[in-house]
Amino acid sequence: MKGWIPFICALSLLAGCAKDIPSPRDPGVEAKREVSIDPDTAEVLQRINAVDAYDVPELELKAEIDYARTSDDVVPFGAEEPYRKHFLEQMEYTGPGRAIPEPAQLETVKIGFIGPIEATVSVATGGRSHEEDLGVKMLQGSKLAIEHANARGGYLKRGIPFELVVKNDNGLWGASGNEIVDMAYEDEVWAILGTIDGANSHIAIRVALKAELLMINTGDTDPTFTETNIPWVARCIGDDRQQGYLLVDYMIRKLGYQRIGIIRSSNRYGRFGVREIVDSARRLGHPIALEMAYALGRDDYTLQLERLKAANVEAIVHWGDARESAVILNQMRSMGMQQPYFASDRTISDEFVELAGDNAEGVISASSWNPNRDDAQLEAFRRAFRERFDEEPETYAAHAYDGMNMLIWAVQVAGLNRAKIRDVLAHRKQPWPGVTGDIPLSATLDDMGEVFLARFEKGDWNYLSREDLQISSGDIPVGSASGGDTASSIVE
Amino acid sequence: MARIAKNALPVMLLVLLGSSVSAEPLPYVYTRWKQFTVADGLPNDHIFAVKAAGPHVWVGTENGLARIDKRTGEIETWREADGLPWKVVSAIDVNRKTGEVWIGLFGGGLARYSGGRFDHFTQLNSGLVNDVVYGVAVENDNVWVATTAGASRFNTLTGEWSIYTEKNAPMEEIWNYAATYNDGRVYLGVWGSGVLEFDVEKERWKVYLDPDGEMEIDLYRDDGLVHVITTGVSYVDDILWVGSYFGGSRYDGRHWRGYFNQDSGLPSDFINFVEGRSADEAWYCTDKGVGVVTDFATNTWVIYTRVPGTDSGQAVVMRDREVLKTVPMGLNIPHNYVLAADVDGNDVWIGTSKGLAWGIGEDYYAGIGGSASKASRTAATAEAGK
């Protein structure tokens, strides 16, 4: 999808006010002001505006041959043709919501935000909360997108500003559900962005389904998030399935490792994050030698590491937060374990680098994007983020900025109707040109954009694509992808 | 004060013509339907729950509670201003012994309506595990509540609450979606954790999952639940009927049977709710109409839909995927996005996202036995009405 240049036609479908919306490629307030509607979206708009409450518009459904670009040799029960395959065709919304008229009196256009922004103890997240740092970044990215939209005129059809309704999802006993209900029925938001924790995300999307409210996720990489057949859910961050596939392709197909060990957090992030790695490794004939889980909040991982050491593994994969990743790595090295260290994308953080010190050198993490790429839009976003928050944007901020811009675009195009907002985003054919890269949505409305491996070298993360790594997607004979590489000699 | 509205006059809906004629024994087809919407006095057209109890039918909507008197057609409604603790009513069950109505509130906890008064239970004033309630089931003197963060059981005699989560029940996930009770067993439909069975006498749990363990496939149709993301459960005549967003299931205690759009009369695999009538008949509420398996043994179905672009409905009789008969009729269900159903003797109630339907089954018969004569009698009755 690199280099894709959308054919954009600026249609004045929002009568008299289709002038002030920036192209998604221009995040700054100086950007060109127009509603960008490609011809396919214009067709969607025409069809959804033509139906009443009782008819379902004829919209082309996204279709795929292979779910999630899974290569044949790692599909479940590969030797057996399943009776039923799911997720190959996009889900429809068949309800009457498109006929609901825009409300007459509004002072703002409310968009919901839900994420872990306040520290607490949470059943859903397995005890003490631990994702506030990520949630605050996500909120910053969301705020910036809202502020940029308002600087360009807000909701152009009415000339009123967008308003961000902010909720915390770290509360007790599945609070995210209550918060989504409030946003749907009390705050009356038009769409929602959130969350990060997998458990809270699943709670939230069930509510969004019943309340018929679009929810876009920018920070939960749990593969099962979009494997729910809910037509009201989208995600704009590469998930752990895609990240896991790339790690497995690199570790097993390219480097030829046969004994890999896993250490992961015992929460849902760790449990589901490694699932595709475990399954793929087994299906490729090299099952994970040992998988060890740890409870959050501990500093001593001796038990897990001693067992991994005894298992004589060639490489270790960690799936958990940045702090734990650094502590585990340091303990590994102090125990004399010199195995290559692979990790999930949360390891890519200043916290990890600071805590790991010299041990960070050579660590390889999966990444849902390449923040080092040369891209004017990304640079403009970085500049704006620095000016606004006096710090560098990271993964959660950047993806939230993209996700919020996608929602804002959908609202501007569709108008104030929840079903139509869902429609224009769900049936958008062109990838969203985000600051994190192109975001093509799959049949399950999941982000099928490119994912990367990041290697920490000489104080910086170096991001490598499949092309850089000389690993194509699909079936590749194990150990023969390119040959001769080791974890410390990645092809660049 | 609750508002009382007169319902519109019943509408007799007729069988006009069968578009195809089959010599096959046919199941009963509901041809008399009556609709209820805001225009008739409902507080809202988006129906989340319906429960028939004696002469009354309780209706939960996105903005209020209603009670229809079947004898008079009167509709009484409650909104927050009338004492209803929260406007979104997502589940209803009635204690047949006491007459108490238990009301699941979507984001508002649990309410009991009795003696003209609402009692309100929330996660802050009771043992209710979460305020986002998806299902309610009366079990003897207990009330089970399926919430988004576990299940709660309230003993109405002692006031004691029990909470069931991953800590003390075989819930891999705690996202409860549905609850039902019958014949000594409580069943919970748990999103991501299949179906949980609770034996009331033995106080033991049993869990049913999709044996292949994969989200993106169902490896074999009849090896267990078709998927772990379950949305509806119904237990009747020793048969467990299950709905999911990926198809339906039937379990007789020994054998499973899966249902998909590709091999049955299911109008869609996206099932919002299921209501079993017997071991042979179940009503699957989908996003594309109601699919009724009317005779399990022969896989015979009747699919009720509103015909797009018209004010008419139709019923399609199918065996496997073969259409046996199409019955055009006046409006049957108000909308094809169907969210709730309840069997009420020979009648049925269908809740949709755009109104409620009452299917009147004066001469209902089960299965397909004696269908030729009864079908012709039905048609004759309709013709006479016309």
A355 and A415 within one domain: no
Q: What's residue B345's pLDDT?
A: 98
Considering only A165-174, A288-297, A322-331, B206-215, which range has the smallest mean pLDDT?
A: A165-174
A447 within a domain of the structure (yes/no): no
- Which residues in chain B have their CB less than 8 angstroms from residue A85's CB? 216-217
Both A272 and A358 in one domain: the answer is yes
Q: Is A227 within 8 Å of B215 when comparing Cβ atoms? A: yes
Predicted local distance difference test score (pLDDT) of residue A20: 36
Secondary structure class of A6 (helix, strand, coil): coil
Say what the pLDDT of residue A274 is: 98
Q: How far is B22 from chain A (nearest CA, A)?
A: 30
Our CA-based measurement puts residue B196 at a distance from the nearest CA of chain A, in whole angstroms, of: 19
Question: Looking at the domain assignment, is residue A146 inside a domain?
Answer: yes
Contact B270 A224 (CB under 8 A): no
pLDDT at A175: 76
As a whole number, the mean pLDDT across chain A is 89
HEC secondary structure over A81-134: CCCEECCCECCCCCCCHHHCCCCCCCCCEEEEEEECCCCCEECCCCEECCCHHH
Residue type present at position A123: V
A55 to chain B: which residues are within 8 Å by CB? 308-309
pLDDT in tens, A223-278: 999 999 999 999 999 999 999 999 999 999 999 999 999 999 998 899 999 999 99
Residue contact A210–B90, C-beta within 8 A: yes
- Residue B54, Cβ neighbours under 10 Å: how many? 10
Residue B251 tokens, joined:
């379990």
Q: Which residue of A has its CA nearest to B289?
A: A94
Give the distance from residue A264's alpha carbon to the nearest chain B alpha carbon, in angstroms.
Answer: 18
Does A196 lie in the same domain as A287?
Answer: no
- What does the pLDDT read at residue B158? 98
Written as six digits, the tokens of B293 are 């398996």
Band of residue A293 on the pLDDT scale cut at 50, 70, 90: very high
Q: Are residues A85 and A192 in the same domain?
A: yes
State whether A229 and A249 are in the same domain. Answer: no
Domain contains A399? yes
CATH of the domain at A356: 3.40.50.2300
Identify the residue among A65, A67, A86, A418 best suited for mutation to test binding to B, counting B beta carbons within 10 A and taking the highest.
A86
For A203, which of B149, B258, B262 is closest by C-beta distance?
Answer: B149
A154-164: pLDDT as tens digits: 999 999 999 99
Q: What is the 3-state secondary structure (H, E, C) of chain B?
A: CCEEECCCCCCCCCECCCCCCCCCCCCCCCCEEEEECHHHCCCCCCEEEEEEECCEEEEEECCEEEEEECCCCCEEEECHHHCCCCCCEEEEEECCCCCCEEEEEECCEEEEEECCEEEEECCCCCCCCCCEEEEEEEECCEEEEEECCEEEEEECCCCCEEEECCCCCCCCCCEEEEEEEECCEEEEEEECCEEEEEECCCCEEEEECCCCCCCCEECCCCCCCCCCEEEEEEEECCEEEEEEECEEEEECCCCEEEECCCCCCCCCCCEEEEEECCCCCEEEEEECEEEEEEEHHHCEEEEEEECCCCCEEEEEEEECCEEEEEEEEECCCCCCCEEEEEEECCEEEEEECCEEEEEECCCCCCCCCCHHHHHHHHHHHHHHHC
Same domain, A75 and A115: yes
**In a domain? residue A252:** yes
pLDDT exceeds cutoff 80 at A8? no
| Least confident residue range of A240-244, A297-301, A328-332, B126-130 | A297-301
Average pLDDT over every residue of A452-476: 90
Q: Which of A86, A210, A229 sits opposite B217 (nearest CB)?
A: A86
A177 contact residues in B (CB cutoff 8 A): 107, 130-132, 148-149
pLDDT-wise least confident of A23-27, A64-68, A305-309, B54-58 = A23-27
Task: For residue range A169-188, list pLDDT tens digits in order.
Answer: 876 656 789 999 999 999 99
Verify that A29 and A159 share a domain, yes or no. Answer: yes
pLDDT band at A377 (very low <50, low <70, confident <90, very high): very high
Q: Which domain holds residue A51?
A: 9-238+374-439
Looking at the domain assignment, is residue A484 inside a domain?
A: no
Higher-confidence residue of B217 and A127: namely B217
pLDDT at site A171: 62
Q: Does the CB of A230 have a partner CB in chain B at under 8 Å?
A: yes
Q: Closest partner residue to A84 among B131, B149, B218, by Cβ?
A: B218
Asked if A174 and B147 come within 8 Å (Cβ–Cβ), the reply is: yes
Say if CB A431 and CB A341 are below 8 A apart. no
Q: Which residue of B has its CA nearest to A279?
A: B214
pLDDT digits (tens, 9 = 90+) for A186-207: 999 999 999 998 888 899 999 9
- Token digits of residue A292: 């060890």
Q: How far is CA B144 from CA A13, B139, B178, B183, B185, in A?
A: 50, 7, 10, 15, 12
Amino acid (one-letter) located at B101: V
Q: How confident is the model at residue A35 (pLDDT cuts 50, 70, 90)?
A: confident
Q: Which of A116-120, A293-297, A425-429 has the highest mean pLDDT?
A: A425-429
- Determine which of B86, B272, B337 to mutate to test the interface with A (most A C-beta atoms within 10 Å): B337
Burial of A79 (0-12, 13-18, 19+ CB in 10 A): exposed
So what's the pLDDT on residue B346?
98
In terms of domains, do A68 and A143 share one?
yes
Say if B249 is an interface residue toward chain A (CB within 8 Å): no
d(CA A470, CA B358): 63
Q: What is the reported pLDDT for B65?
A: 98
Three-state DSSP state, A216? strand
Q: A11 pLDDT band (50/70/90 cuts)?
A: very low
Question: Which pLDDT does position A122 carry in this prediction?
Answer: 58
Is the predicted pLDDT of residue A58 greater than 80, yes or no? yes
Contacts of A56 in chain B (CB under 8 A): 308, 336
Structural domain count of chain A: 2
Min Cα–Cα distance to chain A from B139, Å: 25
- Domain B3-385 classification at class level: mainly beta
What is residue B24's predicted lDDT score, i.e. its pLDDT? 75
Domain spans, chain B: 3-385
pLDDT under 50: residue ranges of chain B: 1-19, 371-373, 375-386
Please give the average per-residue pLDDT across A405-421, as a whole number: 98
The residue written with tokens 């700054």 in the block is A28
User: Where residue A491 falls among pLDDT bands split at 50, 70, 90?
Assistant: very low
Q: What 3-state DSSP class applies to A438? A: strand
Q: How far is CA A38 from the centre of its chain?
A: 24
Assign A121 a pLDDT band (cuts: 50, 70, 90).
Answer: low
The B residues from 38 to 97 touching A (CB cutoff 8 Å) are 45, 48, 87-88, 90
Question: From CA A127, how far away is CA A172, in angstroms rounded?
Answer: 10
Can you give the pLDDT at residue A296? Answer: 85
